[in-house]
Structure 1
Amino acid sequence: MTGAAQSPHLQPWGPDLLAVAERAIDHGLAHGLPPDLDIEGWPELLRAERSSFVTLKTTNGHLRGCIGSIEPHRPLVADINANAFAAAFEDPRFPPLRKTERAGLACELSVLTRPEPMEFADETDLVQRLVPGVDGVLIKAGTRRGTLLPAVWEQLPDPLEFWRTLKEKAGIAQGMLPDDLAVYRYRAEHIGG
């Protein structure tokens, strides 16, 4: 996967990117809106259009919110700013974050490479091509979409189970491979946690 090999590492800026996410959450608690973010002073690498996910977890490791973007459409720092706010206050699986929850909240970032299409002969071939612990996978079929981040391999280490969970998430029946199915893989650089 060429995109993954050519992506510069973001770890030196990890604390700064985590600070952007933390600030978005704190600003949201105080004002109900994400903060304005001036991207001009940031290094070029962080102003490049990249996609990210922001995952929030409680002190006991339970998911408290996760929102992100798969396709790059804004500067990375702006994407993290918006996704952190959304993970805290707009994830439809959870009520908006309350101030009383803030102290025990851990923030994790996943910065993604651009998704690349996967070629495969059939479903068995596709599952065999997945790289556990490394690949994030996006599937599209008509209006149905679903993705699982590379970090999900920690809970679903079996490629077949990973694939079945992804199909279920996208609303695609087991044993079915839609004619218009498109499958993409991406990698992620993990920061925080």
Structure 2
Amino acid sequence: MKRTGLTDAEKKILVDLAWAVIREGVRTGNNRMEGKKPSGDRFLQKGASFVTLTKEGGLRGCIGSLVVHRPLWEDVAANAWNAAFEDPRFSPLDISELPLLRLSVSVLTPAQPLSFASEEELLAQLRPGVDGLTIRAGGRSATFLPGVWEQLPVREVFFRQLKLKAGLREKGLPVGLYAERYGTEECD
């Protein structure tokens, strides 16, 4: 799978950007991006990312983009804000939580549609620990980043939980299921 080609220095810049957005947000309540744009052509290229926040080993926020639609730096900044303050599963982040947080930025590689006629064929194509997976069927969709394999290392369980996340309750392969995989470059 194609890599995004980020250097270690570029990864650090993206993580620092995400932290800057979050720290300003808890301090002022504002989501201002002026003055936060990093220099360098790589950050101006369009990209898709997820920002994941964990606290004491548990998820505290995770928001991202599956579709490339804005410059990478802007995508990371917006997703950092949304993970900290707009994730509907959690209350907005409080300043007292900052010392307990771990932040990760995942920059997505281009998605690859998967072709399959059965659940077994789909599962056989998945690479645990490597592939993120997005599924769509019946107007519902969900995705798991590659890091989810750490909690769900068995293909069948990974897929079953992803179907549940999408609200697809039927057993087996939902009618008309579309699936695509993608990779990420992790910035910690």
Distance of 1:37 and 1:180 partners within structure 2: 44
Query: Does residue 1:69 correspond to 2:65, yes or no?
Result: yes
Residue 28 (structure 1) aligns with: 25
The Cα offsets for residues 50-89 of structure 1, whole Å up to 9 and x where unpaired, read as: 111101112x222111111111111111011000011111
Task: Find the residue that maps to 2:142 and give its secondary structure.
Answer: strand
Which amino acid in structure 2 is aligned with residue 96 of structure 1?
P
Deviation at 1:9, TM superposition (A): 2.8
User: Normalising by structure 1, what TM-score?
Assistant: 0.91
Deviation at 1:110, TM superposition (A): 0.6
Sequence identity percentage: 43
Correspondence for 2:54 among 32, 54, 57: 57
Query: Does residue 1:157 correspond to 2:146, yes or no?
Result: no
Task: Find the residue that maps to 1:56 and give its secondary structure.
Answer: strand
Task: Find the residue that maps to 1:179 and give its secondary structure.
Answer: coil
Residue 5 (structure 2) aligns with: 8
Distance of 1:66 and 1:38 partners within structure 2: 24
Consecutive unaligned residues of structure 1, counting only runs of 5 or more, are none
Is 2:45–2:72's contact at 8 Å kept on the other side of the alignment?
A: yes
Which amino acid in structure 2 is aligned with residue 26 of structure 1?
R
Distance of 2:38 and 2:92 partners within structure 1: 31
- Equivalent runs, 1:40-55 vs 2, <5 Å: 42-55=39-52
Structure 1 outlier segments of 4+, above 6 Å = none
Number of residue pairs aligned between Structure 1 and Structure 2: 188
The Cα offsets for residues 22-55 of structure 1, whole Å up to 9 and x where unpaired, read as: 0110111122222224577522112111111101
**What is the RMSD computed on CA atoms of the aligned residues?**
1.6
Which amino acid in structure 1 is aligned with residue 65 of structure 2?
S
Distance of 2:124 and 2:26 partners within structure 1: 45
Residue 117 (structure 1) aligns with: 113
Which amino acid in structure 1 is aligned with residue 109 of structure 2?
T
Residue 87 (structure 2) aligns with: 91
Correspondence for 1:81 among 77, 84, 92: 77
User: Normalising by structure 2, what TM-score?
Assistant: 0.93
Distance of 1:115 and 1:166 partners within structure 2: 17
Deviation at 1:21, TM superposition (A): 0.3
Distance of 1:79 and 1:136 partners within structure 2: 18
